[in-house]
Amino acid sequence: MKKLAVLLLIAVMALGLNSCILDPDKGDDPPPPEPTYKDQTQPDDVLINLQLSYDNRSIENYQLLLDDDFIYYLSASDQTGYTQWDRVREIKVTGNLFDPNFQSPRVSAAESINLQMTYAAGNEAWVKLGEGASPDPVNDPWYEKFVTYSLSVKAGEYTYIATQLQASFRIHQVTVGGTQIWRIIRWSDDTGS
- CATH number of the domain at 172, please: 3.10.450.50
Instruction: Report how many helices (DSSP H) and strands (DSSP E) the chain contains, helices first.
Output: 4, 7
pLDDT, greater one: 34 or 9: 34
Report yes or no: 174 and 189 within 8 Å, Cβ to Cβ. no
109 CB-near residues (< 8 Å, 6+ apart):
99, 100, 101, 102, 103, 155, 156
What is the per-residue pLDDT across 30-50, written as a single tens digit (0 to 9) for each?
776 777 999 999 999 999 999
Please report whether residue 18 resides in a domain.
Answer: no
Please report whether residue 16 resides in a domain.
Answer: no
Report yes or no: 183 and 46 within 8 Å, Cβ to Cβ. yes
For residue 48, the enclosing domain spans 40-189
**Among 193, 179, 169, which residue's Cα sits nearest to residue 73?**
169
Longest dimension (CA), the chain: 92
Residue 2 has pLDDT above 50, yes or no: no
Please report whether residue 23 resides in a domain.
Answer: no
Arithmetic mean of pLDDT, 92-103: 92
Based on the number of CB atoms within 10 Å of its own CB, is 62 exposed (0-12), middle (13-18) or buried (19 or more)? buried
Cα–Cα distance, 171 to 181 (Å, whole number): 10
Arithmetic mean of pLDDT, 109-127: 89
Domain count, the chain: 1
What is the per-residue pLDDT across 45-84, written as a single tens digit (0 to 9) for each?
999 999 999 999 999 999 999 999 999 998 877 767 788 9
Average pLDDT for the chain: 83
pTM for the model stands at 0.78
Question: Rg of the chain over CA atoms, in angstroms?
Answer: 25
Cα–Cα distance, 62 to 49 (Å, whole number): 8
Please report whether residue 25 resides in a domain.
Answer: no
Please report whether residue 19 resides in a domain.
Answer: no
Say whether 162 sits in a helix, a strand or coil. strand
Please report whether residue 47 resides in a domain.
Answer: yes
Please report whether residue 141 resides in a domain.
Answer: yes
Please report whether residue 184 resides in a domain.
Answer: yes
C-alpha 78, offset from chain centre: 20
